[in-house]
Chains A and B, each alone.
Chain A
């Protein structure tokens, strides 16, 4: 969650990362869990002093995380406006060693415990209450183990100057952040920077491993990189093969087919686009058109019009022929302007 949140933060306006953050919406509860383990106070008031808005930010984060979790679970593929900032804040919160003061923490925890008491009574399948439930239980557990495992739980934070890829949003709020090294590790700035860099690289490598099929089992960076290179090369080769096939099919088809498709979108791309639909729709259309028209088509030079008109039908076959068997004449004539309007009405 940490990593993909970082990802989402890094290029907030990029489409895929928005998707990534949207997909990670379900993990917001987990991110909130991380955050809550930071909420209980450490003895360092000095740490909080460094953070410019510790308590208010913490409260904001708590509330915004629960609300955005509810939002995001419903809107899966859309990135809501509040969203890009949340993973950013989430991961920032999770990296800080201290965030809130004692009063704040008590207030928050008590607020959460009241909700948890009410939630278990109802047996929901909804994710939102489930998330808060697990979060709070985890927070309660973590508090009990706090003292013993404090050092392991502390995360390291880079100073803002060393981060290049991080957005300037972080820099605005915090000029620099104290770093707490893990137990038994060197603390000079160079090794810290290196460590942070290595962590970043490892995080992204993990994401890559998930993306490329068959990389999960492999251990070792070099082999994973090998797999990635092979995958990219195979994808590139596939693109070339597909463009070759498309070019050799028929000149008219690829260029004209697309004009029809350009006017409509959406439901087509969700997998309904297959050769099977072609074969389904094509005989249907052939049967339904009048015989005279059919023969007339043949007498014309076939290569010109035929494939063009023939392909209009099958493309829409799935959506239209099931609903209504008319309007073929319109389509056959090739009046593209009329066609999409009708399709829009029916769809």
Chain B
């Protein structure tokens, strides 16, 4: 499934709404601050498209709320902002040393056939990869089961693709526009200076 034009439109609108909030601060900001503003508003716009149905969107909004609470509050409607920002799904942190030790003990007691070992290694590999996926997808640590994780990943990838497409087209437009302005500016200035 690929991003659709309606999704792109919605994202664009919300992103612009977010950028509006930064408008008064345009002139006295550095490039890095502007970049951060752009990225944050884009992220919140992308996450708000899902309206809190998916785990990654909630986690993303919470993450941006830590960086810029005001923006998030403005971008989302009032009620949702409160619930989304404050609520957090606590995940039980396992003490890795203890878990590892107990696993070692268990392993000693298990029988070791060749096939089982291979299967066990494959399973370990997959588990490592899923852990890696959890690190990448926002809110991955809070997804308790793999099914949910993969579903969220799917949704997240689609949203990321829409975000990238929209941003790329805007950036191309802006850059081409500014190129042209610079070109014509230079040309005319040159003409004026000469003539």
Interface residues of A (CB under 8 A from B): 7, 10-11, 13-16, 19-20, 23, 77, 165, 197, 200-201, 204-205, 207-208, 211-212, 221-222, 225-226, 228-229, 231-233, 235-236, 238-240, 242-255, 257-259, 261-262, 265-266, 269-270, 273-275, 277-279, 282, 286, 294, 298, 302, 306-307, 310-311, 314-315
Which positions 158-186 of chain B face chain A at CB distance < 8 Å? 158, 160-161, 163-164, 166-178, 180-181, 184-185
Query: In the complex, what's the smallest C-beta–C-beta distance from B185 to chain A, in angstroms?
Result: 6
Interface residues of B (CB under 8 A from A): 1, 4-9, 12-13, 15-17, 19-20, 22-23, 26-27, 29, 31-32, 34-35, 37-39, 42-43, 49-50, 53-54, 122, 125-126, 129-130, 132-133, 136-137, 145-148, 150-151, 153-158, 160-161, 163-164, 166-178, 180-181, 184-185, 188-189, 192
A248 vs B38: C-alpha distance in the bound complex, in angstroms? 11
A19 vs B162: C-alpha distance in the bound complex, in angstroms? 14
Partner of B1, one of A23, A243, A315: A23
* Interface of chain B, main secondary structure: helix
Q: In the complex, what residues of A have CB within 8 A of residue B153's CB?
A: 208, 228, 232
Partner of A311, one of B38, B161, B174, B189: B174
Q: Is the CB of A222 within 8 A of B129?
A: yes
Nearest CB in chain B to that of A212: its residue? B157
Q: Is the CB of A311 within 8 A of B177?
A: yes
* Interface of chain A, main secondary structure: helix
Query: In the complex, what's the smallest C-beta–C-beta distance from A260 to chain B, in angstroms?
Result: 9
Partner of B13, one of A231, A262, A311: A262
Q: Is the CB of A251 within 8 A of B157?
A: no
Q: Is the CB of B170 within 8 A of A273?
A: yes
Best-surrounded residue of B20, B126, B155, B170 (most CB of chain A within 10 A): B170
A278 vs B182: C-alpha distance in the bound complex, in angstroms? 14
A165 vs B23: C-alpha distance in the bound complex, in angstroms? 42
A246 and B180 contact, Cβ closer than 8 Å, known pairs A11-B53, A16-B158, A254-B38: no
Q: Is the CB of A250 within 8 A of B174?
A: yes
Q: In the complex, what residues of A have CB within 8 A of residue B167's CB?
A: 239, 242-243, 246
Q: In the complex, what residues of B have CB within 8 A of residue A240's CB?
A: 39
Nearest CB in chain A to that of B170: its residue? A246
13 residue pairs A–B, Cβ–Cβ below 8 Å: A7-B151, A231-B157, A232-B157, A235-B157, A239-B167, A242-B164, A246-B171, A253-B178, A255-B22, A269-B8, A282-B176, A298-B188, A306-B181
Query: In the complex, what's the smallest C-beta–C-beta distance from A234 to chain B, in angstroms?
Result: 9
